[in-house]
Amino acid sequence: MDVQKILVMNGGGDAPGLNAVIRAAVKRAILGYDWEVVGSIEAFNGVLDDPMRIMKLDLHSVVGLLMRGGTILGTSNQGGPFEFPARRPDGEIEVVDRSDELIRRLHRIGVDAVVSIGGDGSQRIAQGLFEKGLPVVGVPKTIDNDLGATEMTFGFQTAVETATDAIDKLHTTAESHDRVIIVEVMGRDAGWIALSAGLAGGADTILIPEIPFEVDHIALHVKRRRKAGHHFAIIVVAEGAFPLGGTALTVKQREPGHPNPILGGVGRWLGDELEVRGFKHTRCCVLGHIQRGGIPVPMDRLLATRYGVAVVDLIAEGKFGHMVALRGDDIVSVPIRDAISHYRNVNLDHNLVRTARGLGVCLGDRVPAS
């Protein structure tokens, strides 16, 4: 396949390191293959908008991006070409399939291949477009580190550092006031951020979606700490964690063009439950989108850069329908369909889980031995 022009897009939530991927992909495409590079603004919305919002990406446009957070292309987690939100004459929102129109528009502007940077949802879209004949390759992106077929996604390490820094700061105020402080972090279905930051920040209790918790176990654990002379406690909870027999709390239900409901509120709910059990003045701190922002740490910059170079090489090799991935210390390619075929949850026998239990950290499903 004779490639002259490629398009780069990123979809879903932003993640530290997105700009580093864009920078590496542009430099590799221009310096290595003399290709023209353009970017679609706000996922594929830029291609589907009238007029199209397409950004020329040259070597000058990527200067200084390595350490810059966010993404110069913008991003969107609303809809997609297969479920594009459109307003009907009666004012209601419906979703329409604009995937064929997207492919026609890409052909019209001379795009020979597409680099899709995104998580599970974005890669499912990429796989669907590939099955329709679009030459597309993928880069895994999610701060939750929950995409299958790769051992690490960029942005995760920065999110963990941000959450750990917050936990460190909350330790001092919790100890000063003899308080229970709950830190709610991101993690819809996977508890990698909560588990990693909780361990790194010395949390007493860590609650993740993979392990339904019982409030009474948590309360008893805190009481035992107080009897032992520790009059404060730090509880880290992933936004998708839920009590045994319950479900994850949502702040907003799914709407047309939105793939998932918005989770949140479990930290405040848990605080109320603990106050009922005698722990007055419990406080909750919700980190939210703070975890997505900021300057990417060196490890995320390196991984993003390696991904950006490798994904352009996939195009040169004609390996469409594939995604770059980290395996051991090497960057490999895997079929996108394999990457989206399974979710990367925290295995209950994972070393991080065993480490937490070995330290006497309460995971909510039992009371650690005193």
Residue 334: partners with Cβ closer than 8 Å, 6 or more residues away: 149, 150, 322, 323, 325
On whether the CB atoms of residues 173 and 181 are closer than 8 A, the answer is yes
**Does the residue 36 lie in any domain?**
yes
Which of 120, 144, 189, 204 is flagged as catalytic?
144
144 belongs to the catalytic site: yes
Question: Please, is 280 exposed, middle or buried when counting C-beta atoms within 10 Å of its C-beta (0-12, 13-18, 19+)?
Answer: exposed
**Does the residue 301 lie in any domain?**
yes
Between CA 154 and CA 107 the distance in angstroms is: 30
On whether the CB atoms of residues 155 and 300 are closer than 8 A, the answer is yes
In this predicted structure, what is the pLDDT of residue 4? 97
How many CA atoms lie less than 13 Å away from 267 in the CB half-sphere?
25
**Does the residue 366 lie in any domain?**
no
**Does the residue 235 lie in any domain?**
yes
Q: Is the bond preceding residue 81 a cis peptide, omega within 30 degrees?
A: no
Do 243 and 130 share a domain, yes or no? no
In this predicted structure, what is the pLDDT of residue 79? 73
The residue range of the domain holding 228 is 158-293+347-358
Q: Going along 44-170, which residue ranges are E strands?
A: 54-56, 84-87, 93-96, 113-118, 136-140
Do 110 and 220 share a domain, yes or no? no
Rg (CA), the chain: 22
**Does the residue 19 lie in any domain?**
yes
**Does the residue 326 lie in any domain?**
yes
- Please give the tally of structural domains in the chain: 2
Look up the CATH number of the domain holding residue 300. Answer: 3.40.50.450
Do 67 and 112 share a domain, yes or no? yes
pTM over 0.85: yes
Single-letter residue type at 244: L
pLDDT, mean of each 10-residue run, the chain (370 residues): 95 94 98 98 96 97 96 89 88 90 98 96 96 98 92 96 97 91 95 98 97 97 92 95 92 62 89 94 93 95 98 98 96 96 93 97 92
Do 203 and 243 share a domain, yes or no? yes
Let me know how many helices (H) and strands (E) the chain has, helices first: 12, 15
Do 190 and 73 share a domain, yes or no? no
Do 33 and 147 share a domain, yes or no? yes
Q: Which tokens sit at 85?
A: 């939100």
**Relative orientation angle of helices 192-200 and 156-177, to the nearest 10 degrees:** 50
Do 77 and 140 share a domain, yes or no? yes
Distance from CA of residue 250 to its chain's centroid? 18
In this predicted structure, what is the pLDDT of residue 253? 62
Residue for token digits 């002379």?
229
